[in-house]
Amino acid sequence: MTLAQLQQRIRDLYGAKDGARGVEGTFMWFMEEIGELSAALRGGSPNEQVLEFADVLAWLATLANIAGVDLEAAMARKYGAGCPGCGQTPCHCETSDKP
């Protein structure tokens, strides 16, 4: 599934509910899912981790949909030419730099 397909799938499933909830409410749900992923990474089963990764990605797609952001285009723009810091693949930034 591409990022574009993911966004469309989430839009088809939940678009009306997501639009009514708005960015602020959706962001709170996204942050809750981040917390659940954190807990799963610390002590959950591999299956729980897989499901929480899926939830986080789905809520990120929801936020992008509400904000009118095409995730596939955003990723291509920022990371399509390599590391945004050094421009290389793989990244050659110093370990003290963010990437």
Q: Which CATH number belongs to the domain containing residue 25 in this structure?
A: 1.10.287.1080
Domain range for residue 40? 3-68
Q: Which residue has the tokens 């469309």?
A: 8
pLDDT at 68: 96
Domain membership of residue 60 (yes or no) is yes
Q: Are 66 and 26 in contact (CB under 8 A)?
A: yes
Look at residue 95 and tell me if it is in a domain. Answer: no
Q: What is the mean pLDDT of the chain?
A: 95
Q: Does 77 have pLDDT greater than 70? A: yes
Task: Please count the structural domains in the chain.
Answer: 1
- Could you give the count of Cα atoms lying within 13 Å of 71 in the half-sphere of its Cβ? 20
Cα 60 to Cα 22, 32, 34, 45, 89, distances in angstroms: 13, 12, 10, 23, 25
pTM of the entire structure? 0.90
Residue at 96 is within a domain: no
Cis, bond preceding 90 (omega within 30 deg of 0) = yes
In this prediction, residue 97 has a pLDDT band, given cuts at 50, 70 and 90, of confident
